[in-house]
Each structure stands twice: as C-alpha cells, then as structure tokens.
Structure 1
Amino acid sequence: MVMKAISAPRLFDGEQYRYDAALVWKDGHIHAVMPISELPKDIEHQHYDEGVIAPGFIDIQVNGGGDVMFNNDISSSAIETICQAHRKYGTAYLLPTLISSTPEKIAKALSTAEQAVNEKIAGMLGVHIEGPWLNEAKKGAHDATLFYSPTVDDLSQFPWPHNAKVLITAATEKMSLEALRYLQQVGAIISCGHSNATVEQLSNDKLAEVNGFTHLFNAMSPFEGREPGVVGTALNSDHAWCSIITDGIHVHPNSFLLAHRAKPQGKLLIVTDAMATVGSKTNRFELDGQIIEVIDNKLVNAEGSLAGAHIGMDQSVANVIRWGIEESEALKMASTYPALAMKANDLGKLASGYRAAATVLNANYQTQAVLVDGKLY
C-alpha cells in the first residue's frame, strides 16, 4: 500500500505537541510523525486548517448507537452500525457493551465479539460484559431478576475470546475470589461496578484482582466519613483505573475534578456509557421491555431514572477541558489511558509502529475526521 498522511496546525502524539506536523502511515500502521515541509511531494495528503490531531479515541463502554442497542442485536452488523455512529463523534475504537443478560446472550456476545475482531470490523476492539454479576441495591437500569453469583464452573462454560478484548463489570462482593481469579486467567479485565460493597468486602485479596472501577460515582456505594464504600476505595486504589461519564449529568464537574486530583495520572479515563440514541433518528429505544428516551438531554426510563448517556466522546472531552483540565490531559483521558486500561499496547499514541488510529478535532473540539487502522473516515 502507498503511504498516506494527514496534518494540522497541532498534533498531540500522546506525550507532547508537534506543530505543523503530519502523521504518516502505511499498511495500517504509523510510519512517522514529521514536519509538513518534509513530506514527500507525491504522498496522498489531507490537511486540516484548524484544530488538533490526537491519538484515536477509545470508548470502553458503549451500549449502542445509530438506533441499535447491542442487547437487542448481538451481531457483527450491529457492531458495525454502532462503530459507525460513534465515529462521527471522534471514537476510533470501542467496546460494545452487553447490559445484564442471560448466559446464552453472554456467550453469544463473547463469540460475536471474537468474530467481529477477526473480520476486522473498523473500530471493534472487544466487548464489555456489564453484569449480570451485580448487586441489586445498585442495579441502575439493569434487570435484577437476571443477577446471580457465578461459580468457576459457570464461567468455564463461556467461549472466552482470544483476540477480542474482554472487560467485565461485576460487583466484587457478589463474586468469589476463585471466580475473579478465573476471569483473570482467561484474559478478562475486571472492573468493579454496580456494587454496594463496604470497605471490608473489598478485601486486599479481591482488590488485587480488580483492574478498574466502572463509571465512578454512579451505581456504587458512596464515600462517607465512617465508611469509604466503593467510591472511597476506588479513589484510594492507586493501581486501579476509574472510568467516568463526563456529560455533566451523571457526575458534577466538581466531583470529577476531585476524582482527577485524587487518582494518579493515567488512572482516570472517559467513557460515554452511550445508548442507541447517539447518532439516532428517533432519540428513543427499548431495553428489557422498557422505553428509554431523551428528555432534556437526559436518557431516562419510565421512572425517571438515568439509563445510560446521550453523548459522544468529542463532547465529553470538550466538557472536561471546559471544567479546567488541560487539553493534553483530556485527550489522553480519551485515548492513551483507555488503551493502557485495555492493555492495547499498539494504541493510544501517535508513534512509529503503532496502529494508524487518530481523531481530528476542530477548534471547538468537534470531530473533523477519524483514522481507524489506516482508513480515514
């Protein structure tokens, strides 16, 4: 394949800014970052007059998009539709997320994820299984009738992927230590969420098996003076990352800023928790027999409870910059840090040998283009 390039006034490579620089790639991998003036004259080159080129955004919690919910359509074509919908908002890669479901659907989601990665569906990184191993006290929009505590034998029945990344959100107080260790053995990344655990229930042995915490502050026992809960434990666990929804609805900006101050650098990352309404024509969908719709820019069910988010990654990044976070840090929270969390060692930076993946934003942080595995959208 021929070399191609994109350029802009600024390029953030995941560590530092480069000015009037071009990203050059070939065969789906980055060849170099170089001054625009040094580009070969015959190279296929797209220049953007404003904005910034950043490492491709990675969203590890996407329930749906483009009027498709992954729970309602567990297929490669549905994954492709979801990826396309979120690409308009800067997401290069994502994990389609299965909200608490039956063992049969979990097995199907795992095998479909492996199939979609092997088919090289653009933007497909892996799958997020969010439940049903959750705590009913913090069920959110999940169907608690599906909840159970799995044994190692239960878990061994699932077709664990080899190529697709697997993220598991579980209430660790509902999981045995043996079950958590089994999930680690099959290569899953474990995140504590929808949990009502006390600090005693989050023992050091269990915390050692926990890689992260899902949508910090939401659907977890709160921080209190005499009981740190999941929130306090998450903030105090330096080894573990925390994902956070930055739509300004799920978490107050000041709570976000407090979390950013508390967590070590690289351990707080942005997710959208987006539903089918992102890139939708209808702004409503059905989940487990409930109608979920956008009201005043909030996604709510019939009881008025929050049911996911209605936001893209570019707006999420713009929000945290507006709240006072440096642009470079906000860009890393959407790209470099999720790559590290998912152990995707060839993503999250614009450097030679990495996958050719980038997000191009204008001066208002709206998406101009997205590069995925060497193809510019």
Structure 2
Amino acid sequence: MEGRHRQMTVRAITAKTIFDGEQYHSDSALVWRGDQIVDIVAAALPSSVIVTDVGDKMVAPGFIDIQVNGGGDVMFNSETTADGIDTICRAHRQHGTAYLLPTLISATPEQMKTALIATESAIEQGVAGVIGVHLEGPWLNKDKKGAHDANKFYSPTIEQLEAFPWVERGVNLVTLAAENVDTQALNWLQQHHVVVSCGHSNATLHELTTEKRASLNGFTHVFNAMSAIEGREPGVVGTALMTDHAWCSIIVDGIHVAPQNVLMAHRLKPEGKLLIVTDAMASVGSKTNRFVLDGEEISVQDGKLVNSSGALAGAHIGMDQSVANAIAWGLEEAEVLRMASTYPAQALNLNRVGVLKPGYRAAATVLNCDYSAYAVLVDGKLNP
C-alpha cells in the first residue's frame, strides 16, 4: 500500500490566496497525491510535481451543496439514474460545487427506492461529486407543499422505512414535516444514521416537542415552506433559529429569502449552524431554462423559477453566485466560504471534506476575483 502511494503523481495548485477553511495562505501551493491532500506549502516545489498555477485566483475548500434537484436540463425526479446524477454533478461543477446530494422531490415509494439504488450505483461507479442522496418528502405537510405533489404525501411506518434500500456508501438525508412523522419513526431514522431535517412543515412549537426536536439534525431551507414567526407562536422558523444543536440550510438567491433575513439567521444561529444550499433545478446549466416536474412545466421568468400559477418552484442559481451574494450582503468572506463547504460537511457528519488539511480528500473550489467559479478539484481530479 505504501509503495503504491509513493508512486502516485504529486500535483499542486499554486495561487495568490488559499483559504483552508480556517486561515488564509498567501502565494502558496495546495499539494495532493492521488485523492488525498498532502499539505499547503509556501516553499518551492520539486520539479517532479505537476503544477497548475491559477495566478491571482483564490483556492477554497470544495463547495458542498446538500440540496440539488437537478442541473444540465436533468431533474433527478425525471432521470433517476447514475447517468442522471453524473449530468447534474457536471452541471454544478461549472458553478464551483465539488460535492452534492442529488435531491428527489416528493415521489412514490417505488421511485424513492429507484433513487436510493441509483445513488448507490453512482457512488460504486465513481461518479465524481456524488456523496449520497437527499429525499425531500414525501413525508411533508400539505399546507406547506410548495411545488411538491401533495397526493404523494403520507406518514411513514417503521415497516415502510425498513423496506427502503438506504444508501450504504454515502449519506442519506431526509426532509420531513416533523409534525406528520411519529417519534418512533424519527428515532428509527436516527438509529439508522439517516440525517433528519424538518421542512415543508406547518408545525407549532407545541407540535415540535422536546423529544421531536432532539431527533432533528437540521431544518431545510429556513424561512421557506415553513410556518412563520408570529407574536404568540414561533412557528417552525422561530424554532429552527432557536434550536441551537440543529443546523439550518438557507437559499441565498435574493428571491427566496430577503438579504436582511439571511443576516438575521446568521446572527441568531450558533457558529457553524447556518449553511448555504441552492435548491437548484434542471435550469442550472440548461440550454432551455425550462423543464417538467410532475407533469407541470417550470420555467425561468425574470430570474425566478416558477410554475404555471407563478409560484416559486426551486431556485435558478449555483453555489458560486450564492457565495457572491452572501458576501455582497455583508457576511464576512471566510465565514461564507465555510457556509458553502465546512458547515455542510459537518451537517452531514463527513470527516474528510470541508477543509484543506493533510489527509483530507483532495477537493477544492478555485474562484475568480468576483467569486465566480474558475475550476473545481474533486477527489484529486482538476476540472477547469
């Protein structure tokens, strides 16, 4: 093993700025061998190292998007295959995303099983960028259905949960309305290492009991598709912001959530507990800017993704623009970069991604001065 490791080609990216997830390095090199980071060094590199110089660009930990419904004209719901996942990952690499969770919008149990099997297959085949799957529904509340088909909603039993072929080599993330799932089912998911997030929920604080809150790892796209804060009721929004152990994902396209609310959420959540997601649809990297979901056409109008009734139906944005937005709104650059990489890794309990440190997976996002993506390093392979 050690002999083979020594024979691997050593590669490096040199840049004016490298942010490792904790601190900045000037005029340095990110060095990796195979799919593993060796170090960040400021010294001259041996001639045997294959070097890519990106000049005045910045290298940051690879972006991780835990909610991606589609990309490159492909919706995961419509092309629930390893090839579909590959197309989605390729589309989002153009926007700086190293890793993602293909996200299945509320579907039938049969299609959910297909999605789980497809994700396992994609990981086995080495599809670059896929680290698991996100099942967004169908265990949701019809009063906060958004673009989901409420006819598919139900409350799962333990027997039904046991019947799913959960992904073994990657992350299983589930978004559910906690008020519609009993505590026994929530406990089963936790015991089987499924990451549980509350979303598309109309719960009151009374319904989000202490026991149920303890079973939640996070809250999905806070402020959107959840009961709002009122004078005598914190709703899911207030509960999410005040549940310190749970992370909150947030969409920062300037359409789903007002910039001031993004700043408020950041102020209220403990460090590391607010993270960026795109909730992107097939229109990202698309040639047509339109697609079909559950038989209904969704299209980009004035920068928004809407259905035939004009309701928001996911987002039309990549991680790089999301990062640029959050920084422009006043959040500190290093913190925003962590919100796009380190914090999602922590939310999914991943211990070898999210920072640029020796022994971690060789994954990085190279950004232009305006934070648009220039290149992405995924498991040792640099994709311009």
TM-score range, shorter chain: over 0.9
Aligned equivalent of 2:343, options 337, 346, 350: 337
2:18 corresponds to = 11
- Residue type of the alignment partner of 1:191: S
Report whether the alignment pairs 1:248 with 2:238: no
1:124 corresponds to = 130
1:273 corresponds to = 279
Note the 1:343-362 alignment, pairs <5 A: 343-362=349-368
Note the 1:286-365 alignment, pairs <5 A: 286-365=292-371
- CA positional deviation for 1:51: 2.2
- Residue type of the alignment partner of 1:154: Q
The CA deviation string for residues 323-368 of structure 1, in whole angstroms up to 9 with x for no partner, is 0011100100000000000111100000000000000001010111
Percent of aligned positions with the same letter in both sequences?
Answer: 61
Contact in 2 for aligned 1:79/1:96 (Cα 8 Å): yes
- Residue type of the alignment partner of 2:373: T
- Stretches of structure 1 lacking an aligned partner (at least 5 in a row): none
Report whether the alignment pairs 1:56 with 2:62: yes
Contact in 2 for aligned 1:160/1:186 (Cα 8 Å): no
For the residue of structure 2 that corresponds to 1:285, the secondary structure is: strand
For the residue of structure 2 that corresponds to 1:38, the secondary structure is: coil
The CA deviation string for residues 9-62 of structure 1, in whole angstroms up to 9 with x for no partner, is 110000000111110001100011101x33112310001112210000000000
- Residue type of the alignment partner of 2:74: V
Distance 1:88 1:116 in 2: 20
Distance 2:56 2:250 in 1: 29
The CA deviation string for residues 86-106 of structure 1, in whole angstroms up to 9 with x for no partner, is 000000000000000000011
Aligned equivalent of 1:65, options 58, 62, 71: 71
Greater displacement, 318-327 / 178-187 = 178-187
- Residue type of the alignment partner of 1:331: L
For the residue of structure 2 that corresponds to 1:257, the secondary structure is: helix
- CA positional deviation for 1:185: 1.7
Report whether the alignment pairs 1:24 with 2:31: yes
- CA positional deviation for 1:225: 1.5
Report whether the alignment pairs 1:238 with 2:244: yes
For the residue of structure 1 that corresponds to 2:351, the secondary structure is: coil
Report whether the alignment pairs 1:74 with 2:80: yes
Contact in 2 for aligned 1:23/1:30 (Cα 8 Å): yes
2:192 corresponds to = 186
- Residue type of the alignment partner of 1:24: V
Contact in 1 for aligned 2:14/2:29 (Cα 8 Å): yes
1:2 corresponds to = 9
Distance 1:42 1:146 in 2: 57
For the residue of structure 2 that corresponds to 1:50, the secondary structure is: coil
Please, what is the CA RMSD of the aligned residues?
Answer: 0.6
Contact in 2 for aligned 1:29/1:356 (Cα 8 Å): yes
The CA deviation string for residues 213-246 of structure 1, in whole angstroms up to 9 with x for no partner, is 0000000000112000000000000000000000
| TM-score, normalised relative to structure 1 | 0.99
Distance 2:28 2:230 in 1: 48
Note the 1:201-240 alignment, pairs <5 A: 201-240=207-246
| TM-score, normalised relative to structure 2 | 0.97
